[in-house]
Structure 1
Amino acid sequence: MAEIIRIAGAPDNNAEPQSLPRNIEAEAALLGALMIDNRLVEDVQLKLRSEHFFEPLHGRIYDAILRMTDKNMIANPVTLKPMFDADETMKEVGGAAYLAQLTGSGAAIIGARDFAQQIYDLALLRSLVGVGRDMVEGALDTSEDVAPLEQIERAETELYRVAEQGGGEGKAKSFGEATRLAVEMAQKALNSGGHLSGVTTGLDSLNGKIGGMHKSDLMILAGRPGMGKTSLATNIAFAAAQRFVRDQEDGIDPAKSVGAPTAFFSLEMSADQLATRILAEQSGISSENLRMGKISQQEFRSLARAAAELENLPLYIDDTPGLTIAALRTRARRLKRQKGVGFVVVDYLQLLQGTGRGSAGDNRVQEISEISRGLKQLAKELDCPVLALSQLSRAVEQREDKRPQLSDLRESGSIEQDADMVWFVFRGDYYLAAKQPADDHPDFAAWQEEMQRIYGLAEVIVAKQRHGATGKIRLKFDSRITKFSDLAEEAYLPEHR
């Protein structure tokens, strides 16, 4: 045993003032226990991999044991011997006799699981040391362009990867576990009023159609310019954050709240512009008047009161332009860790950048595919809903019926494929206003009548939903304060398809 320790440890001790975390004896004891009782393999193989062993020879022996047991063959020093006859490191430590030496202590069987856990923990510590070393080397190297923020984001990504490895092994859930999760979801829906099992959108009619925004779901909200995509996304983000605060005040367990602290990544509008929209919505003052200062003293007092009420709202706005999908995921993870964010909004998808350099022609299609895939992975990583806004192609404008279709999603079919839900926002009055005839035109009266009928009405078309039916919801839209709300008579209307 001393010989193998010297072979494994000597190079590191000579090269570094402080050796890397490891326990060669625990590795040897675990391998011996696995060869004595192959049933222990089932307990450790879900978490422990060969690269977690500090001594490479031990990693190879571990792999060989897994291969043998996977074939339902006995893995012991005799059956493993042929696999290591040509292994030079094995020859240096005594050849096949070393395998027999590993099984010398039967007492190791009792502590096998503890040995496996320690080997795994020490491997994570070595990964952490590696990340730290790379950070130091990168920070000291000024031969290339100095980009400290990129280095920080890269380091955060690497640290998250190490943390993710330590987050528990992936495993199949028993039907009993899956059933408990389903019952918890149903209980949450019951407690919220009978229809809401995910994060609220703040709109009862939309909640009724989709059941709320569910964990690990990627939702795409798309529409042509002027339809109110950002307004609807802002309304939903505010409603989720506000409901979380209200549930906390009512003493509801945060895990059972249908609200959530929200991260809003605004790649198009600045944080103060978004804040102005929310203040306009809450105070009832036109956002245009707010920007231009055309408000009375009474309105200003209403504004100040609304601002004071929203001061502690758990809504976090990141308006950094030109984010890559990797940087956005890093920032979202940070907000999840620091602020407990449970809902992410991205405005909008096409303004994100991929990790590749090219962005024209075919590369752009690949880049959008990478971005939509990255957003879906983010939803699964953070175990929270992600709402991403998307542009639509101009094909909509060429049709008589301007209502969007799934084929209108711009630049990549992967958006539709990766999304769990696709919503389109459509306002007929926007298009009708563009067709206004002159006041003395024979068609003006008919146009005016039609405009009065549909003015301020909007539709959210649920074009794809993994969890339920598609269809459309009619809403009211107040363009003055950029607010979507439920139609009063919606509950009495037949379902729209």
Structure 2
Amino acid sequence: MNQQRNQNQNWNNSKSSLKTNKNIEKGLLRVLPNAQDLESAVLGAVLVDSRAYSIASEYLYSECFYSPKNELIWNVFGRLNSKNSPIDILTVMEELKSAGELEQLGGLGEITKLTIGVIGSTNITSHCKIVFEKYLQREVIKMGSELVEMAYDSNSDAFNLVEEAEKMLFNISQRSVKSDYAHLSDKLPDLLNAVELAKSNGGKAIGVPSGYPLLDSVTGGFQNGQLIIIAARPAVGKSVFSLNIAKGVASQGYPVGVFNLEMSHIETLRRAVANVGGHRMNDLKSGRIEPIESIYQTGQLIEKLPIYVDDNASLTVSIFRAKARKMVTKHKVKLIIIDYLQLMTGEDKRNNREQEISTISRWLKITAKELQIPIIALSQMSRDVEKRGNKEPQLSDLRESGAIEQDADIVAFIYARTESEIEEYIGLKNIRMLKIAKQRDGALETIAFNARNDVQTWDELGIIQGKNIPEPPQNLPQRSNDAALFFEPF
């Protein structure tokens, strides 16, 4: 008991020290924001009407109280509530006595003073909100003080400091006042509005359209706040596919941000010229383009596409978040693509690689929610998929972290046909399958594409489901009438 009393006393002394610390600005002493009178009014309302505790506890917790004495009484309320005991002056006094805290509080008089002038709990909700707002203000001040101290430390890393500031501010923003619970049907009007919107849109995507009608029919378009993972083994074509999505989105007037950690800006532009102008990549690299003016003409078309590229090869989470925020603010970017996830680096060098990827994945999801845009992150797959006969990917094939699967709203895999199938039907060499293995609120489908990586274009063939088998490409050599069977699901 004495140990507990000493711990409480030490904590209160520390807290009092923080709260009595005054900041000098313009020659005036400033006290931390607080609303002690309203804190007392909330506590008094609970003592008069114990049912008011259930209302107040939806908004407040112990750290919200500026006065250590008020916080101590609030904690007593919590202990009594957990025992299913009534909350009134007598029960609170007995709880304080048994815990040895009555003397620390200042006697019974401190409790009875709380009920003076309190008639009921009519205004408790508005009082709680004000108390909570003052608490948030104090937390922002505390954060600022800590950041100032960290910034003065000559050994501190500036980029880590920015990341730490973002984390602290985000943590504060998450402590918003709790919303009241509601009946399940209360959101029915919002649902009807969404259905009507989709209906009026002719069944087309109501999110950011990818430029691929079949893909949009499955996903409903990329939704704000979503983290979409597109994973593949090396050289399968995930970068080409993401470029086609960027072009498709931008062609419909939605600005796109691309963070390319693997290729330089000019390499990305070369791919875009091949895609838009129909030029072969090898011809662009070797200079065998006639007439050369055709590149300028293609460039004029690309210039009209609102695509913004960042090719920083050493991209940390904090730098990405800062640049993404700038893209959204300055260019009204509606979609961000990262190529690719495993090339990003975390801030904490003490983490192992799996922990680092987990942290990166989580912050990508947080960033998507904060900026209210979808983020597509390309990802590598493990070699385990190569050990299976049909080479069809599974969620467990995501490389280095199961957290990617947990954080993502959509996980899609790109894979090619097996070598034996390609040997039998050479045209299948260009076929790529996009398997949607996870979608929080949508169907799981597989879509076939004809991938012409020489000119950086991917064309939809069809959805692989039941008898809905897409027609093979025109140039697909067929040695039998059963060629289309290779499009069936494994």
1:408 and 2:397 aligned: yes
Counterpart residue identity of residue 228, structure 1: G
Aligned residue in 1 for 2:455: 481
Q: Given the superposition, is the C-alpha separation of residues 67 and 332 from structure 1 closer, same or farther in structure 2, using an over 3 Å criterion?
A: farther
Q: How does 1:109-128 map to 2 (within 5 A)?
A: 109-128=121-140
Aligned residue in 2 for 1:282: 276
Aligned length: 452
SS at match of 1:154: helix
SS at match of 1:485: strand
Offset, 1:290: 5.0
Counterpart residue identity of residue 400, structure 2: E
Aligned residue in 2 for 1:3: none
User: Does the aligned pair in 1 maintain the 2:32–2:138 contact within 8 Å?
Assistant: yes
User: Does the aligned pair in 2 maintain the 1:219–1:419 contact within 8 Å?
Assistant: yes
SS at match of 1:38: coil
Aligned residue in 2 for 1:348: 340
1:74 and 2:66 aligned: no
User: Does the aligned pair in 2 maintain the 1:285–1:481 contact within 8 Å?
Assistant: yes
Q: Deviations over 1:104-134 (max 9, x none)?
A: 0126845433322221111111111112112
Counterpart residue identity of residue 270, structure 1: S
Q: Taking every aligned residue pair, what percent have the same amino acid on both sides?
A: 30
Tell me, in whole angstroms, the C-alpha distance in 2 between the residues paired with 1:134 and 1:111. Answer: 35
Aligned residue in 1 for 2:304: 309
User: Does the aligned pair in 2 maintain the 1:85–1:95 contact within 8 Å?
Assistant: no
Tell me, in whole angstroms, the C-alpha distance in 1 between the residues paired with 2:381 and 2:18. Answer: 59
Counterpart residue identity of residue 268, structure 2: L
Q: How does 1:288-299 map to 2 (within 5 A)?
A: 289=283, 295=289, 296-299=291-294
Tell me, in whole angstroms, the C-alpha distance in 2 between the residues paired with 1:354 and 1:172. Answer: 37
Tell me, in whole angstroms, the C-alpha distance in 1 between the residues paired with 2:332 and 2:57. Answer: 32
Aligned residue in 2 for 1:390: 379
Aligned residue in 2 for 1:140: 152
Counterpart residue identity of residue 494, structure 1: I
The CA RMSD measured in Å over matched residues stands at 3.8
Tell me, in whole angstroms, the C-alpha distance in 2 between the residues paired with 1:74 and 1:220. Answer: 51
User: Does the aligned pair in 1 maintain the 2:69–2:105 contact within 8 Å?
Assistant: no
Counterpart residue identity of residue 450, structure 1: Y
User: Does the aligned pair in 1 maintain the 2:446–2:463 contact within 8 Å?
Assistant: no
Q: Given the superposition, is the C-alpha separation of residues 275 and 123 from structure 1 closer, same or farther in structure 2, using an over 3 Å criterion?
A: farther
User: Does the aligned pair in 2 maintain the 1:218–1:420 contact within 8 Å?
Assistant: yes
Aligned residue in 2 for 1:58: 70
Tell me, in whole angstroms, the C-alpha distance in 2 between the residues paired with 1:460 and 1:409. Answer: 15
Q: Deviations over 1:219-261 (max 9, x none)?
A: 3211121111012122223433443x3xxxxxxxxxxxxxx65
Q: How does 1:238-387 map to 2 (within 5 A)?
A: 238-243=247-252, 245=253, 261-286=255-280, 289=283, 295=289, 296-310=291-305, 313=306, 315-325=307-317, 328=320, 332=324, 342-354=334-346, 356-358=348-350, 363-379=352-368, 384-387=373-376
Tell me, in whole angstroms, the C-alpha distance in 2 between the residues paired with 1:277 and 1:123. Answer: 52
1:174 and 2:186 aligned: no
Q: Deviations over 1:15-61 (max 9, x none)?
A: 65432111222211221122223343343322322101111221222
Tell me, in whole angstroms, the C-alpha distance in 1 between the residues paired with 2:136 and 2:189. Answer: 32
Q: Given the superposition, is the C-alpha separation of residues 123 and 73 from structure 1 closer, same or farther in structure 2, using an over 3 Å criterion?
A: same
Tell me, in whole angstroms, the C-alpha distance in 2 between the residues paired with 1:102 and 1:336. Answer: 50
Q: Given the superposition, is the C-alpha separation of residues 207 and 16 from structure 1 closer, same or farther in structure 2, using an over 3 Å criterion?
A: closer
User: Does the aligned pair in 2 maintain the 1:13–1:19 contact within 8 Å?
Assistant: yes
Counterpart residue identity of residue 243, structure 2: T
Aligned residue in 1 for 2:201: 192
1:234 and 2:243 aligned: yes
Counterpart residue identity of residue 224, structure 1: R
1:183 and 2:192 aligned: yes
The alignment's TM-score, normalised by the length of structure 1, stands at 0.77
Q: Given the superposition, is the C-alpha separation of residues 185 and 308 from structure 1 closer, same or farther in structure 2, using an over 3 Å criterion?
A: same
SS at match of 2:449: strand
Offset, 1:99: 0.9
1:155 and 2:150 aligned: no
User: Does the aligned pair in 2 maintain the 1:157–1:330 contact within 8 Å?
Assistant: no
User: Does the aligned pair in 2 maintain the 1:135–1:151 contact within 8 Å?
Assistant: yes
Tell me, in whole angstroms, the C-alpha distance in 1 between the residues paired with 2:17 and 2:440. Answer: 57
Aligned residue in 1 for 2:52: 40
Tell me, in whole angstroms, the C-alpha distance in 2 between the residues paired with 1:358 and 1:12. Answer: 34
User: Does the aligned pair in 2 maintain the 1:285–1:299 contact within 8 Å?
Assistant: no
Tell me, in whole angstroms, the C-alpha distance in 2 between the residues paired with 1:43 and 1:334. Answer: 40
SS at match of 1:25: helix
Offset, 1:70: 5.5
Counterpart residue identity of residue 196, structure 2: Q
User: Does the aligned pair in 1 maintain the 2:448–2:461 contact within 8 Å?
Assistant: yes
Counterpart residue identity of residue 29, structure 1: A
Specify which of 134, 137, 143 is matched with residue 131 of structure 1: 143
Q: Given the superposition, is the C-alpha separation of residues 402 and 488 from structure 1 closer, same or farther in structure 2, using an over 3 Å criterion?
A: closer
Tell me, in whole angstroms, the C-alpha distance in 2 between the residues paired with 1:394 and 1:8. Answer: 54
Tell me, in whole angstroms, the C-alpha distance in 1 between the residues paired with 2:41 and 2:53. Answer: 14
Q: Given the superposition, is the C-alpha separation of residues 358 and 127 from structure 1 closer, same or farther in structure 2, using an over 3 Å criterion?
A: closer
Tell me, in whole angstroms, the C-alpha distance in 2 between the residues paired with 1:9 and 1:366. Answer: 38
Offset, 1:294: 5.2
Counterpart residue identity of residue 36, structure 1: V
Tell me, in whole angstroms, the C-alpha distance in 2 between the residues paired with 1:41 and 1:336. Answer: 43
Offset, 1:187: 2.9
Q: Given the superposition, is the C-alpha separation of residues 383 and 489 from structure 1 closer, same or farther in structure 2, using an over 3 Å criterion?
A: closer
Q: Given the superposition, is the C-alpha separation of residues 150 and 474 from structure 1 closer, same or farther in structure 2, using an over 3 Å criterion?
A: same
The alignment's TM-score, normalised by the length of structure 2, stands at 0.78
Q: Deviations over 1:144-192 (max 9, x none)?
A: 2x422221222122223223324x4255453124434433333343233
Q: Given the superposition, is the C-alpha separation of residues 140 and 414 from structure 1 closer, same or farther in structure 2, using an over 3 Å criterion?
A: closer
Offset, 1:209: 3.0
User: Does the aligned pair in 1 maintain the 2:159–2:318 contact within 8 Å?
Assistant: no
Tell me, in whole angstroms, the C-alpha distance in 2 between the residues paired with 1:263 and 1:38. Answer: 54
SS at match of 2:338: strand
Q: Given the superposition, is the C-alpha separation of residues 29 and 335 from structure 1 closer, same or farther in structure 2, using an over 3 Å criterion?
A: farther
Aligned residue in 2 for 1:254: none
Aligned residue in 2 for 1:225: 234
